[in-house]
Copies of this chain bind each other. A is one copy, B any other.
Amino acid sequence: MSSHPIDLEAALAGFDAIWSPRIIARINDYDVRLARFSGEHVWHAHERTDEFFLVLDGEIDIALRENGGERVVTLPRGSVFVVPRGVFHKPSARAEAAVLLVEPAGTSSVGDSHEEVPGHVEVTTGHPAWTGGRP
């Protein structure tokens, strides 16, 4: 996808939109995406795939519905977490955070099952990122 290294800070500087992932790299049929999180996303589940989160800046929470209950995992900067396939989850961030995601290309940002999507959350499989090359 890109024949040169991509600086994550520069790629993040290329967009402001929250909950609107940008695709910065491709690993076989997987996307590496960058996203800005702020406020609450929606409860959703990816039926056929795990989802990997790495917090680059700030801190995020991921609420999870498991074993008939709910729990929240908090991911500070520099931590990673995998939401298993089929698990309903709702990411959120009290202040703006930057996150690197890895998931199969074509994975919807709101999964296969989700609650009603509010206006501040985009339904997308990711947008091309500006990654430092000439357009």
Contacts and interface: CB of A to CB of B under 8 A. Distances in A.
Contacts of A86: none
A105 B32 CA distance: 17
Contact-size category for A: 20 to 34
Given A32-B52, A52-B32, A102-B102, A79 B5 contact: yes
Nearest to A6: B80
B76 A52 contact: no
A114 to B, nearest CB: 20
A73 B85 CA distance: 35
Q: For the complex, would chain A's binding face be called helix, strand, loop or mixed by DSSP majority?
A: strand
Copies in the complex: 2
B9 A27 contact: no
Interface in A62-91: 73-76, 78-82, 85
Given A28-B50, A30-B30, A6 B102 contact: no
B5 A73 contact: yes
A39 interface: no
Nearest to A104: B28
Interface string A1-40: 1101111110000000000000011111010100000000
